[in-house]
Chain A
């Protein structure tokens, strides 16, 4: 399956991927409204996080592991592997906000929703025509969406 692969050699730490992510996951699909309004009001937050250490940085999000720890840890059936697409799917309605997945995922790819007892996790921009928004927005091709 195609996944998003981050390249720390060429990540420039601009955080544009995070902005693209919240835009893609916003109601308005408009960065300005998403960032100014939906972020505060609805707790809209990115599925990606840019880690920085000295001169190195990298944008991390769910790896959609073949055998994910989060699925193993999920007590509610809210996380599961889609056998057809290979994606690790999050069912928001089933999630009870126990944070087991957040604890179990050793890749730090799951975060708490800022307001609700839900998690925020990359869905590879499911249904988006041009694939993951972060990859499209990266100005330095430090994110690649491909089969490996």
Chain B
């Protein structure tokens, strides 16, 4: 097989589309351990909330795979990679040869060792199966505890709440959304959740999960000594790269699978992309694991092109999140919480609590390196341009950015022309 892809998520779709940009003929094999077509993982919160039906989960229609000459082997797990023999083995006992392999196995939910977590009614919120169980259970459960006040935790909480469940979200750190957002944005988001009726408790987490003699979940003991009754516990602390397959095969791993600028791993003809890969970062010089949707697609796309023989460099990962809390949209891109002791960063903030409008811009060496928008998000893309294209922001331009009106006319003339009105080729 010319191309084998392990994993059936967005990085895999990126890879298929990347390969097909270069090579429109040779067959592609996708092996996915979940028994469903590739779905948008963030969509499961929409599914759980009842905003969409299962029919809308698929990222690409069936004919996409047909047109792209892709064979799907779903519900099959790869158990072993032999980088010398260039084969992969599956749990069905198959051995599949590959010329080019992409490891896009994504992340696995991080579960801290909480006593009582083994057993029924403890879920994490990263795959479809759990969502489906929660949907079927939602009618009967009254109370739910969500451990983790990050993006996944909050969305899980919101979805269950929409199903009529009394939800409490527990976050160990002093505030929610500590990674992707700053204090002000987190406060606005938290405020919106509280307005609606979700309970959010910060600085506290579950010490132990209480079960009765039959093993049924009864409640949780908190680190502050309190006890809370609950029917289900959802653990949504985060994901860690799912790299064991690669590590076992002798491929170099660090925090994720190490890849070079062409998304190639230490093994010949083996590539990695997505949440499992530790790849070039746009803003920092080192390689990082940034488990973000867009990066997964872009890395997959770049890997796919390189697998097909093109020599394309990955432009670098950029953290970005867009998420709404009951109609309050929030966006964060790039570096939003710069190190406090580093003077080379400058932060500008506009906050209108009444209108629930917030804008935070982070500058570094006269460049915009990150921003947060809450409420008024319409100009987000124009801010992203400054981060992504790393355009210098002189004084007068900075004023315009601060006033919330970035636009394409601020771009350097040559770049503008190249982008929008290039000369006719030939």
- Write the residues of chain A forming the contact surface with B, with a CB cutoff of 8 angstroms: 5-8, 51-53, 56-58, 60, 63, 67, 69, 71-77, 80-81, 83, 93-94, 96-100, 102-112, 146, 148
Contacts and interface: CB of A to CB of B under 8 A. Distances in A.
Contact of B420 (A5, A52, A56): A5
B96 interface: no
B40 interface: yes
Contacts of B105: none
Contact of A8 (B293, B385, B421): B421
A80 B63 CA distance: 13
B43 A6 contact: no
Given A75-B293, A103-B381, A108-B379, A96 B420 contact: no
Given A67-B301, A103-B331, A107-B408, 15 more contacts: A8-B421, A72-B297, A73-B294, A73-B322, A75-B10, A75-B40, A75-B43, A77-B40, A77-B59, A96-B51, A99-B331, A102-B331, A104-B381, A106-B388, A107-B419
29 contacts: A8-B420, A53-B409, A53-B410, A58-B409, A67-B301, A69-B294, A72-B297, A73-B294, A75-B293, A76-B40, A77-B40, A83-B20, A96-B46, A97-B324, A98-B322, A99-B324, A100-B320, A103-B333, A103-B384, A104-B294, A105-B381, A106-B381, A106-B389, A107-B419, A108-B382, A108-B407, A111-B378, A148-B424, A148-B425
A100 B294 contact: yes
A106 B410 contact: no
Nearest to A56: B409
B408 A72 contact: no
B420 A6 contact: yes
Contact of A60 (B10, B43, B301, B408): B408
B384 A98 contact: no
B69 to A, nearest CB: 12
A110 to B, nearest CB: 6
A80 B423 CA distance: 27
B17 A51 contact: no
A144 to B, nearest CB: 8
Nearest to A6: B420
Contact of A73 (B61, B297, B378, B379): B297
Nearest to A80: B60
A58 B322 contact: no
Given A72-B301, A148-B425, A108 B42 contact: no
Given A99-B329, A102-B381, A81 B407 contact: no
B249 interface: no
B72 to A, nearest CB: 16
Given A98-B42, A103-B377, A106-B381, A58 B420 contact: yes
B67 A83 contact: yes
A72 B384 contact: no
B409 A81 contact: no
B217 to A, nearest CB: 31
Nearest to B424: A148
B416 A8 contact: yes
B58 interface: yes
A104 B381 CA distance: 6
